[in-house]
Amino acid sequence: MKIVVCIKQVPDTNEVKLDPKTGTLIRDGVPSIINHDDKNALEEAIKLKDKYQNVHITVLTMGPPQADVALREALAMGADRAILVSDRAFAGSDTWATARTIAAAVRKIGEYDLIFCGRQAIDGDTAQVGPQLAEYLNLPQVTYVKHLEINGEKVTVERALEDGYEVLETTLPCLLTTIKELNEPRYANVRGIFDAYKEKTVEMWTANDIKIAADQTGLNASPTNVKQTFTPSPKGQGTILCGCDKDTICELMCKLQEKHII
């Protein structure tokens, strides 16, 4: 089975602050990490490799040259091949152009049975790239995957909903987007880290390599315009009601009714 895992290098948002005057992110000195949901995607691919024979994992990212570090970490965790899709022509891509560019890279990879994406990137936060990628590649997709079983060509997943989950079946090849409930990502061991830097390579593909036309990627191919960014004002302090006597419960019911919650 050939698996492609799309990972994005993101700023560690625990460390990111917003400039209150300009409303833009202060990125200086902020460490970069592999997006959390993408680590769950990678972990699931590695679990499949542990379970079945002949599983090959390619990790793919579109990003600047520094994204090499994220790919090395993925190799150290257990991926077999790493591809960095990087070109000045990609600068300013919105999700539409990003997904088109990744789709072109996946087409160049050629053979694949399963594509994993994280549900959502913690910086861009749109959750659009996975579903768009599936559309461009004409693949069935299931989002918000919290459990996965593969039996031959059949893929059975539990897909998280707000109030539970649904069980869906699809067939390979397909694209799945993953959430943190799926698994606990492993840490890379020392041997893995050593191999990732000494034995393994990260392939670098440009726009020319993936044969993407200039009008399909980058700023000019991006229909999204960011009109404004701002820091939301802090929420007011909540109200705490103590006790489970009749009066407290009545008070709670009144408050919920006032706010049209019930």
Ligand X SMILES: Cc1cc2nc3c(=O)[nH]c(=O)nc-3n(C[C@H](O)[C@H](O)[C@H](O)COP(=O)(O)OP(=O)(O)OC[C@H]3O[C@@H](n4cnc5c(N)ncnc54)[C@H](O)[C@@H]3O)c2cc1C
Residues 169-198 that bind ligand X (CB under 6 A): none
Task: Say if residues 94 and 223 touch (Cβ distance below 8 Å).
Answer: yes
- Shortest Å, Cβ 129 to ligand X: 3
Q: Is 62 in the site for ligand X (CB under 6 A)?
A: yes
Residue nearest to ligand X (CB): 124
Q: What is the DSSP string of 58-107?
A: EEEEES-GGGHHHHHHHHHHT-SEEEEE--GGGTT--HHHHHHHHHHHHH
> Binders of ligand X: how many residues, by CB under 6 A?
32
Q: Please, which residue, 189 or 229, has the CB nearer to ligand X? A: 229
Cα Rg for the chain, rounded, in angstroms? 21
Q: Is 210 in the site for ligand X (CB under 6 A)?
A: no
- 3-state class (DSSP) for residue 164: strand
Q: Is 226 in the site for ligand X (CB under 6 A)?
A: yes
List phi, psi (to 5°) of 141.
Answer: -140, 150
CB atoms within 10 A of CB 187: 8
Q: Please, which residue, 190 or 230, has the CB nearer to ligand X? A: 230
- Shortest Å, Cβ 48 to ligand X: 17
Amino acid at 177: T
- Shortest Å, Cβ 225 to ligand X: 6
Q: Which residues bind ligand X (CB under 6 A)?
A: 6-8, 35, 37-38, 60-63, 91-95, 98, 102, 117-118, 120-121, 123-130, 222, 224, 226
